[in-house]
Amino acid sequence: MSKIKVIKKDGTVEDFNMDKIYKAIEKSAQRVMKHLKEDEKPWIKASILENISGKNSIPVKDIHLYVEKILSKLDDEIAKSYKDYRNYKTSFVSMLDNVYQESQKIRYIGDKENSNSDSTLVSTKRSLIYSVLNKEMYKKFFLTVEEIEAIKKGYIYIHDMNARLDSINCCLADVGTILKDGFEMGNIWYNEPKTLDVAFDVLGDIIFSMSSQQYGGFTVPEVDTLLKPYAEKSYLIYKNEFFQIADKFYVSREDNIIEKAEEYAIEKLWRDMEQGFQGIEYKLNTVGSSRGDYSFVTFTFGLGKTTFEKMLSKTCLRVRRKGQGKRGFKKPVLFPKLVFLYDEKLHGEGKELGDVFDEAVKCSQSSMYPDFLSLTGDGYVPDIYKEYGKIISPMGCRAFLSPYYERGEIEPLDSEDTPIFTGRANLGVISLHLPMIYAKAKRESKNFYDVLDYYLEIIRGLHLRTYDYLAEMKASTNPLGFCEGGFYKGNLKPDDKIEPVIKSFTLSFGITALNELQQIHNQKSLVQDGEFALEVMEYIKSKVEEFKRQDGKLYAIYGSPAESLCSKQVQQFRKEFGIIKNVSDREYVSNSFHCHVSEDINPIQKQDLEKRFWSYFNGGKIQYVKYPISYNFEAIKSLVRRAMELGFYEGVNLSLSYCNECGYEELNMDTCPQCGSNDLTKIDRMNGYLSYSRVKGESRLNDGKMAEIRDRVSM
């Protein structure tokens, strides 16, 4: 057979080589998670030789056709993969051209897809360009034709395509387990901190290391309780320090020396706490992660009843309220996002932690954080707290974990089985574009729910494949999480597969534009009606519960926070179905189940209207209203308390504005009334989190989100 020559595409000639064909087939099989069996090779070889016998030379394209024909008899999936693979050069040229075009935009224009990424920085540009390549490779090698069509048209949206196969999504890190008795990071052993100031430093190191190995939000739950043991250690050290000084300089001990020692230790602790939280704020708002953005970190707190826990909670709030910056130009930072855990029995009027709650409201009225999470109202999160005493802290801007039980896993084994939340995470979100699905069903004269089922099944299949893919990853990809106890059951060896750990992680079905769905159905908004939207959510809930039982996976429904997606979905809808009033005539769609931002309703009306949808979105939800009350402490406090009674995760929404020329601050200004400057820094609520809508006069947000901010009345 060596006499047969193969004429390649470029006109060069080489000897026929059967091993090259085997390798090409093997690669094609691997792409569809299969392998070529050894006993199949002789048959393949004989079939090919039968087709080329008697020829002195043969074009390579003819050989490819023979191989395709032979493989179609063997395995359709491998045959299709081979056909796609053999055209890889042409498709790669096209793909790399797209990457090049996008990289040029990033280098010279910037990127506004993620408001927490400063695309003017070289390090961020590099990360964004890598993300573009990763996204293209994900689409080319992981998605099916049907899935590509669904995302291209816009019926579904796969969040974070650039990172989904690298790592996990949002998490509740078990930092306490990592710290206890010490841990290894970067081949260096960290001893457990012996003082509070060291604990703050190590906490920062852990946050940067773990959050860099994932995408999405990174939450340190109950940070007041977490840091309490280290505050106690420092307190004892400072008391002993005072006694040593007293012994050295006083001839005789005074009667109140113990009281003075305690005063000295407490004063030093206040200072350590203030410097510790300041240091965390500086780190998280100035040092970008390896992903190219600022680590999206959340601290939850507020339930601690001991002296040190209360001190930690109050200090965290006071540092945020004071702001960072030079004298006369201080402004609140964005990270960590703060979430106050509210228990009516502890934080109600006259209760033992009422003073801590007051501090939280004061902080919110000047910096929009903390958000407030009800543990004693109605709903999923309060119910878990009341039954088990377990707190489901939010991850990132709004994600919540489904229960995972110690013994029964997805369902409790018995009445004694308890759920685990800390140390768990998400594995990604894929969102439905419901107005587009509705419009498609109408255009094709199909039942809406039949079309919806098709896209629900696509998302389900993607989640299952993503889970299987990530399950094969090694624990060394995130050592603090998978090896040092940062995740539940995260005590694996570096070479172990992570499947035992990610069994407890959640996969989410996202929802956007519920208001626009109601509009396209009967030309009414969620404020005017909402019944069809509720019907659809009831249907989706039942389907997701069915998938959960059948697949044994923790599926959840997530109210998607549409940042860049809010304008992308409008563009996709217009391309398919044109401009429809109150559906696609604005530059953005509504987030999840929220009333349209332009609705002229008051905060109480908005709370009541959105309460209808609250129970459907246990995988991720937040309620927020625009407070038209400036810095009225009592008014904000009463509205927050009302939200807590309703069981909400509540965000205070103001529009903070600061003049960079004279330091003047005022709500929602576009020109400084004091000096006339347009050089402003503005902080607005992006979705469930805060972001800079203007930095030194320029916006980091996309045009769709800026249009939404301009239209805000009730948000």
Res 674: pLDDT: 94
Q: What angle separates helix 196-211 from helix 223-249, to the nearest 10 degrees?
A: 150
258 and 391, same domain (yes or no) = yes
Q: Where are the beta strands (DSSP E) in 60-175?
A: 156-158, 171-172
Mean per-residue pLDDT, 660-682: 92
3-state SS of the chain: helix, strand, coil percent to 5? Answer: 50, 15, 35
Res 125: pLDDT: 67
Which residue among 398, 423, 445 closes a domain?
Answer: 398
pLDDT band, very low/low/confident/very high, at 112 (cuts 50, 70, 90): low
Q: What percent of the chain has pLDDT over 70?
A: 92
151 and 188, same domain (yes or no) = no
> How many domains, the chain?
4
Cα 675 to Cα 60: distance, rounded to the nearest angstrom = 74
357-416 pLDDT, tens digit each:
999 999 999 899 999 999 999 999 999 999 999 999 999 889 999 999 999 999 999 999
Cα 317 to Cα 320: distance, rounded to the nearest angstrom = 5
pLDDT band, very low/low/confident/very high, at 89 (cuts 50, 70, 90): low
555-593 pLDDT, tens digit each:
999 999 888 889 999 999 999 999 999 999 999 999 999
Res 50: pLDDT: 86
26 and 100, same domain (yes or no) = yes
Per the rule left: phi > 0, alpha: psi between -120 and 50, beta: everything else, 415 is: alpha
Res 274: pLDDT: 98
198 and 63, same domain (yes or no) = no
Within 10 A of 295 (CB to CB), how many other CB atoms are there?
Answer: 24
Check the CA dihedral 530-535-539-541 and report its sign: positive
Residues in contact with 151: Cβ distance below 8 Å, sequence separation at least 6, in sequence order: 139, 143, 157, 158
| Residue 639 is assigned to a structural domain of this protein | no
Which residue among 398, 432, 449 closes a domain?
Answer: 398
| Residue 609 is assigned to a structural domain of this protein | no
**Any idea what DSSP says for residue 588?**
-
Question: Which residue would you say has higher pLDDT here, 601 or 61?
Answer: 601
225 and 352, same domain (yes or no) = yes
Question: Which residue would you say has higher pLDDT here, 239 or 94?
Answer: 239
Within 10 A of 406 (CB to CB), how many other CB atoms are there?
Answer: 13
Token pair belonging to 507: 């996969």
**Any idea what DSSP says for residue 587?**
S
Q: Is the pLDDT of residue 40 over 90?
A: no
Cα 335 to Cα 278: distance, rounded to the nearest angstrom = 11
Task: Give the residue numbers spanning the domain of 470.
Answer: 146-169+406-598
Res 12: pLDDT: 87
Mean per-residue pLDDT, 277-291: 86
Core vs surface per residue 122-138: b (16+ CB within 10 A) or e: eebbebbbebbbbbbbb
Q: Is the pLDDT of residue 298 over 90?
A: yes
Mean per-residue pLDDT, 218-235: 98
Mean per-residue pLDDT, 495-499: 97
Cα 70 to Cα 52: distance, rounded to the nearest angstrom = 13
152 and 83, same domain (yes or no) = no
pLDDT band, very low/low/confident/very high, at 438 (cuts 50, 70, 90): very high
393 and 316, same domain (yes or no) = yes
Res 202: pLDDT: 98
pLDDT band, very low/low/confident/very high, at 1 (cuts 50, 70, 90): very low
| Residue 8 is assigned to a structural domain of this protein | yes
Question: Which residue would you say has higher pLDDT here, 291 or 117?
Answer: 291
Among 62-66, 176-180, 183-187, the range with the most confident prediction by mean pLDDT is 176-180
Res 691: pLDDT: 85
pLDDT band, very low/low/confident/very high, at 180 (cuts 50, 70, 90): very high
479 and 579, same domain (yes or no) = yes
Cβ(420)–Cβ(488) under 8 Å?
A: yes
Residue 497 has φ and ψ, to the nearest 5°, of -75, 150
Token pair belonging to 233: 């250690």
164 and 190, same domain (yes or no) = no
Residue 620 has φ and ψ, to the nearest 5°, of 170, 120
Res 26: pLDDT: 86
pLDDT band, very low/low/confident/very high, at 617 (cuts 50, 70, 90): very high
Q: Is the pLDDT of residue 500 over 70?
A: yes
**What's this model's pTM, rounded to 2 decimal places?**
0.86
Mean per-residue pLDDT, 61-65: 87
443 and 562, same domain (yes or no) = yes
90-99, 219-228, 666-675: lowest mean pLDDT where?
A: 90-99
Cis peptide bond prior to 42, omega within 30° of 0: no
| Residue 623 is assigned to a structural domain of this protein | no
Question: Which residue would you say has higher pLDDT here, 94 or 409?
Answer: 409
Give me the long-range contacts of 38-46 (CB less than 8 A, separation at least 24): 40/74, 44/70, 44/71, 44/74, 45/18
Res 66: pLDDT: 87
Cβ(678)–Cβ(670) under 8 Å?
A: yes
Residue type, 425: A
Token pair belonging to 313: 């909670």
Mean per-residue pLDDT, 23-29: 85
| Residue 160 is assigned to a structural domain of this protein | yes
CATH code, domain with 452: 3.20.70.20
| Residue 626 is assigned to a structural domain of this protein | no
| Residue 606 is assigned to a structural domain of this protein | no
22-36, 57-71, 580-594, 595-609: lowest mean pLDDT where?
A: 22-36
Question: Which residue would you say has higher pLDDT here, 141 or 472?
Answer: 472
Cα 407 to Cα 416: distance, rounded to the nearest angstrom = 10
Mean per-residue pLDDT, 266-284: 97
Res 100: pLDDT: 67
Res 370: pLDDT: 97
Which residue among 398, 430, 461 closes a domain?
Answer: 398
Mean per-residue pLDDT, 69-94: 77
| Residue 632 is assigned to a structural domain of this protein | no
Res 467: pLDDT: 97
Res 88: pLDDT: 61
634-670 pLDDT, tens digit each:
989 999 999 999 999 999 888 899 999 999 998 889 8
Q: Is the pLDDT of residue 223 over 90?
A: yes
Cα 712 to Cα 715: distance, rounded to the nearest angstrom = 6
Res 78: pLDDT: 87
Q: Is the pLDDT of residue 678 over 80?
A: yes
Among 291-300, 441-450, 620-629, the range with the most confident prediction by mean pLDDT is 441-450
377 and 410, same domain (yes or no) = no
Q: Is the pLDDT of residue 253 over 60?
A: no
Mean pLDDT of the chain: 90
339 and 480, same domain (yes or no) = no
189-211 pLDDT, tens digit each:
999 999 999 999 999 999 999 99
